């Protein structure tokens, strides 16, 4: 029977453990901070739980425009909202957020999910060891307690830690990483978010909806510089309309506490004062001190474990999965890399990791979901593609719901009409993208999507409309206002 030792109990590690156990291997998972990993305990699950509350606040903010007023205040301020959209959405003052309850809910939900996963592992007879491990040989892991676990196969899935920049070191009280947020007793009065990538944008969006003043310090031309440019422009526009101050081309040089607040110094000499600063400047792999290079595992220049598409490292029998490999920092990818490692190690038929069909989502309001070919690939000529963009403002359901911001963008191969990718900017874009992902994964054409009946009225009607636009022979390509 093959013995497998897994270092790290996040999605990369625990999904691998479940696969290996189901294939009859003897599996040990060693984890230092809690099963479920940073994904469940500090990063993905907590942030999306917080965002569930911030979305509720946004719904309250939208309510007057849809004719809903608080009891006893029939003349509540509607502001300058218009029925066709909500251009000046600001947090409502008729409801308030209880920060301690919100954060306790976040922590409790994360703890419960971690416990669920640990019980599941135990049910599948996976041995769970709480402790810090390091490789002391290609197939031997020693824990901080001095116990050694030997496995024919070792999987390294140790994840990442928030990156710190010199001069802006977090103190956990006023200068924070996202892992400190859920210990706060209050909603920051004025949150200065340093970093406008996915993490910075999600927290800027969420805390603004929760009532904080927010300043977003972005070193690039615009927020979300690596994302679809139309989506990034739209989100930046929404941020500004919602009262987020966006400082583009601004780089933080230092952050220091002053009294009950914090001052962020920019490299051009300007300063930004707030109550708290959130450093969201990326992550570094947790690969130091693991004994990896000592046993011959090759690390990349940034410290990531170098792996191939089968999750193999440079040492036979040593695999790596998840964020520590730097392949694509998503829970779904970590889990798939872990499963692939086990299928490969245990002799199952397995196809190498394919990143072209991975869908991802940014949980701002509205959300941005993407899959497949990107605008950049088309614009640089890397891929020949036709593209169309259908604004949600044309969508009847969006009008009914008061949604003005958003679009569906679809890419297809010229000639065959094969769907290559898409971008959806909409509330719950994360749910809507699946139909485009299915099309990309299964080689469906815009013609096939165009012939598929979508619900009338529905936001997904904009997906079939985009397909009709890309299908040149279609006579009904121009309008969504008529049910068909």
Binding residues for ligand FAD, per CB under 6 A? 7-13, 30-34, 37-39, 43-44, 47-48, 132-133, 157-159, 178, 199, 286, 290, 322-324, 329-332, 334
- Which residue, 252 or 290, has its beta carbon nearer to ligand FAD? 290
- Which residue, 142 or 465, has its beta carbon nearer to ligand FAD? 142
Q: How near is the Cβ of 479 to ligand FAD at its closest, in Å?
A: 35
Q: How near is the Cβ of 441 to ligand FAD at its closest, in Å?
A: 17
Q: List CB contacts of 435: < 8 A, sequence separation 6 or more.
A: 449, 460, 463
Please check whether residue 193 is in contact with residue 278, taking contact to mean a CB–CB distance below 8 angstroms. Answer: yes
Q: How near is the Cβ of 150 to ligand FAD at its closest, in Å?
A: 16
Q: How near is the Cβ of 358 to ligand FAD at its closest, in Å?
A: 9
- Which residue, 44 or 212, has its beta carbon nearer to ligand FAD? 44
Q: What whole-number distance in Å separates Cα of residue 28 and Cα of residue 155?
A: 10
Q: How near is the Cβ of 225 to ligand FAD at its closest, in Å?
A: 17
**Chain centroid, CA 91 distance in Å:** 24
Q: How near is the Cβ of 283 to ligand FAD at its closest, in Å?
A: 6
- Which residue, 41 or 469, has its beta carbon nearer to ligand FAD? 41
Q: What whole-number distance in Å separates Cα of residue 185 and Cα of residue 169?
A: 21
- Which residue, 38 or 217, has its beta carbon nearer to ligand FAD? 38
Q: What whole-number distance in Å separates Cα of residue 474 and Cα of residue 362?
A: 33
- Which residue, 212 or 330, has its beta carbon nearer to ligand FAD? 330
Q: How near is the Cβ of 177 to ligand FAD at its closest, in Å?
A: 9
- Which residue, 31 or 465, has its beta carbon nearer to ligand FAD? 31
Q: What whole-number distance in Å separates Cα of residue 241 and Cα of residue 239?
A: 5
Parallel/antiparallel/unpaired status of strands 276-279 and 175-176: parallel
Instruction: Determine if residue 302 is left, alpha or beta; phi over 0 gives left, psi from -120 to 50 gives alpha, anything else beta.
Output: alpha
Q: Which residues pair with 318 in a beta bridge?
A: 154
CB burial of residue 337 (10 Å; 0-12, 13-18, 19+): buried
- Which residue, 323 or 447, has its beta carbon nearer to ligand FAD? 323
DSSP state, 42?
Answer: T
Q: How near is the Cβ of 205 to ligand FAD at its closest, in Å?
A: 12
Three-class SS of 345-401: HCCCCCCCCCCCCCEEEECCCCEEEEEECCHHHHHCCCCCCEEEEEEHHHCHHHHHH
Please check whether residue 60 is in contact with residue 86, taking contact to mean a CB–CB distance below 8 angstroms. Answer: no
- Which residue, 430 or 435, has its beta carbon nearer to ligand FAD? 430
- Give the other-Cβ count within 10 Å of 311's Cβ: 32
Backbone angles phi, psi at 64, to 5 degrees: -60, -35
- Give the other-Cβ count within 10 Å of 391's Cβ: 16
Q: How near is the Cβ of 106 to ligand FAD at its closest, in Å?
A: 12
């Amino acid at each position: 029977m093959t013995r497998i030792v897994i270092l790290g109990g996040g999605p990369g590690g625990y999904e691998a453990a479940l696969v290996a156990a189901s294939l009859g291997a003897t599996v040990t998972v060693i984890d230092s901070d809690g099963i479920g990993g940073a994904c469940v305990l500090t990063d993905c699950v907590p942030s999306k739980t917080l965002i569930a509350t911030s979305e509720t606040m946004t719904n309250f903010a939208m309510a007057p425009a849809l004719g809903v007023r608080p009891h006893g205040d029939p003349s509540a301020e509607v502001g300058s909202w218009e029925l066709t959209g909500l251009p000046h959405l600001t947090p409502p003052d008729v409801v308030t957020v209880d920060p301690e309850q919100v954060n306790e809910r976040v922590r409790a939900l994360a703890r419960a999910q971690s416990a669920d996963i640990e019980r599941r592992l135990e049910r599948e007879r996976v041995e769970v060891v709480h402790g810090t491990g390091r490789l002391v040989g290609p197939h031997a892991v020693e824990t901080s307690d001095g116990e050694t676990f030997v496995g024919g196969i070792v999987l390294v899935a140790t994840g990442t830690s928030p990156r710190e920049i010199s001069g802006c070191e977090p103190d956990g009280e006023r200068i924070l990483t996202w892992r400190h947020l859920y210990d706060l007793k209050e909603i920051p009065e004025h949150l200065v978010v340093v970093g406008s990538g996915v993490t910075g944008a999600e927290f800027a969006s969420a805390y603004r909806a929760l009532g904080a003043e927010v300043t977003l310090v972005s070193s690039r031309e615009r927020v979300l510089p690596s994302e679809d440019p139309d989506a990034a422009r739209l989100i930046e526009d929404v941020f500004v309309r919602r009262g987020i101050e966006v400082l583009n081309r601004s780089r933080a040089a230092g952050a220091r506490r002053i009294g009950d607040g914090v001052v962020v110094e920019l490299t051009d000499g300007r300063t930004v004062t707030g109550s708290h600063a959130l450093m969201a400047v990326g992550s570094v792999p947790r690969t130091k001190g693991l004994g990896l290079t000592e046993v011959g595992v090759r690390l990349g220049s940034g410290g990531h474990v170098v792996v191939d598409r089968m999750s193999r490292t440079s040492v036979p029998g040593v695999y790596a999965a998840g964020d520590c490999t730097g392949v694509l920092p998503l829970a779904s990818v970590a889990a798939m890399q872990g499963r692939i490692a086990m299928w490969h190690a245990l002799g199952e038929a397995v196809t190498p990791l394919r990143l072209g069909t991975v869908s991802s989502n940014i949980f701002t309001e509205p959300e941005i979901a993407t899959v497949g070919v990107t605008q950049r690939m088309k614009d640089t000529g890397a891929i020949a593609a036709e593209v169309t963009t259908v604004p949600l403002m044309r969508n009847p359901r969006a009008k009914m719901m008061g949604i003005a911001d958003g679009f569906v963008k679809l890419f297809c191969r010229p000639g065959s009409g094969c769907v290559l990718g898409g971008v959806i900017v909409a509330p719950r874009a994360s749910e809507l993208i699946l139909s485009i992902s299915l099309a990309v994964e299964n080689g469906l054409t815009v013609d096939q999507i165009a012939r598929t009946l979508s619900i009338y009225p529905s936001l997904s009607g904009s997906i079939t409309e985009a397909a009709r636009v890309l299908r040149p022979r279609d006579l009904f390509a121009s309008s969504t206002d008529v049910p068909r």
